[in-house]
């Protein structure tokens, strides 16, 4: 099927060479990769990625959408970047290293780790609190992990990022399961502090007026009412030019 996808004379030459190389290294291609219910064109995928500078460049520059379009895959596939990266690493990256030497496995791992860390930071920030100047601030679903009581305004962006890196290093070092759970809960607390602080300030920056944020009984330490089963409620009041809004 891969040989018959088009009449490009270089297709057969490429596929013969690819399959021969994979066979020699002990990782033969025994199954045709499928994506979006169609054969994944390894020849076109390799050409598109290497034309952009190789797999590491595509990951670092986040240009998987261009690769997806070049393969004529549906744009509605939400996991296209991850799937294409995984398939490329399995079927094509060793061949790229051998034939083009556009990057090394160490550089690939560094790119993947960097992409993963950035994705975690974005997902934590977006999941905890979102704000749109044209709409209403909305607190989204919070992580269901036991957390102790905390107050807003103690952790800045740099501290939150550093804490996340430190947590990941400690978990990768082989902490016991019970200790991992405690570390994760601790990090969730720090990230929530950072997200609330950062985004409440973002809300304030869009109003040319005085804003005061406090808890229901005006004590900052009780701004978040937590239970042992996770967050049960958050009570806040926002004072804008002397008018208090509570919820």
80 within some domain? yes
Q: In CATH, what number is assigned to the domain containing residue 32? A: 1.10.150.60
Whole-angstrom Cα distance, residue 136 to residue 97? 50
161 within some domain? no
174 within some domain? no
27 within some domain? yes
Query: How much is the pLDDT for 241?
Result: 73
Q: Is the pTM of this model over 0.75?
A: no
Query: How much is the pLDDT for 246?
Result: 79
177 within some domain? no
For the chain, the domain total comes to: 1
Q: Count Cα neighbours of 100 within 13 Å in the Cβ-side half-sphere.
A: 18
Whole-angstrom Cα distance, residue 159 to residue 33? 43
116 within some domain? yes
Q: Which residues of the chain have pLDDT under 70?
A: 119-233
In sign, the C-alpha dihedral spanning 48, 49, 53, 57 is: positive
111 within some domain? yes
Query: How much is the pLDDT for 109?
Result: 95
Whole-angstrom Cα distance, residue 130 to residue 227? 23
18 within some domain? yes
Query: How much is the pLDDT for 17?
Result: 97
Domain that holds residue 107: 9-120
Q: Are 77 and 36 in contact (CB under 8 A)?
A: yes
């Amino acid at each position: 099927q891969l040989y018959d996808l088009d009449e490009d004379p270089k297709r057969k030459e490429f596929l013969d060479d690819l399959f021969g190389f994979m066979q020699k290294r002990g990782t033969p291609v025994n199954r045709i990769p499928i994506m979006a219910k169609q054969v994944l064109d390894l020849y076109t995928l390799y050409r598109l990625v290497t034309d952009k500078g190789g797999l590491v460049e595509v990951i670092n520059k986040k240009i998987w959408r261009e690769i997806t379009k070049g393969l004529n895959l549906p744009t509605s596939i939400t996991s296209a970047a991850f799937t294409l990266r995984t398939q490329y690493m399995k079927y094509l990256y060793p061949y790229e290293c051998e034939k083009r030497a556009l990057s090394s496995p160490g550089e690939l791992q560094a790119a993947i780790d960097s992409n993963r860390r950035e994705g975690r930071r974005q997902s934590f920030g977006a999941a905890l609190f979102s704000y749109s100047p044209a709409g209403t601030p909305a607190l989204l679903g919070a992580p269901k992990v036991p957390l102790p009581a905390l107050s807003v305004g103690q952790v800045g962006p740099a501290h939150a990022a550093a804490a996340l890196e430190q947590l990941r290093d400690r978990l990768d070092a082989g902490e016991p399961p019970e200790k991992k759970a405690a570390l994760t809960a601790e990090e969730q607390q720090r990230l929530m502090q950072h997200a609330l602080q950062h985004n409440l300030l973002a809300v304030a920056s869009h109003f040319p007026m005085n804003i005061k944020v406090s808890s229901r009984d005006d004590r900052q330490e009780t701004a978040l009412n937590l239970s042992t089963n996770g967050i049960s409620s958050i009570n806040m009041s926002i004072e804008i030019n002397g008018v208090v809004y509570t919820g």
